[in-house]
Amino acid sequence: MGMITGREYYFVIVGHNGQLTFEMEFPVVDAKKRPYSNIRHLNQFIAHAALDIIDEQMLTNPQMYLKVYINLSVISGNNKL
């Protein structure tokens, strides 16, 4: 396996019940050119693990922007960006 030279970012919008509304990886890379196998499921796992922490904080913190933990905004209807 070769070295990964670039950085990738994962943007996700999760709906009220934890259902995936939108996801995108940046930069967009052709799957055939990636030096590693399909790891999209790992991105989803990490995102949901981070959202578990946010869900716990939403019970005690009335703020809608919780930048202390991860870059996340809770919008109306408990949707998360």
* Within a domain: 68: yes
Asked if the structure places residue 20 within a domain, the reply is yes
Helices and strands, counts by H and E, the chain = 1, 4
In a domain, 3, yes or no: no
Domain span at residue 56 reads: 9-80
Question: Residue 2 domain-assigned?
Answer: no
Instruction: Give the other-Cβ count within 10 Å of 12's Cβ.
Output: 19
pTM (2 d.p.): 0.55
Higher pLDDT, 66 or 25: 25
- What whole-number distance in Å separates Cα of residue 42 and Cα of residue 40? 5
DSSP-derived letter for residue 57 is H
In a domain, 4, yes or no: no
Q: Which of 50, 81, 47 is nearest to 64 (CA)?
A: 81
Specify the CATH number for the domain of residue 13: 3.30.450.70
Q: Which residue has the tokens 């967009």?
A: 28
- How many domains, in total, are found in the chain? 1
Query: Per-residue pLDDT tens for 10-49?
Result: 888 887 777 888 888 877 666 666 666 667 678 788 888 8
Q: Which residue has the higher pLDDT, 52 or 6?
A: 52
**Tokens, residue 65:** 């922007």
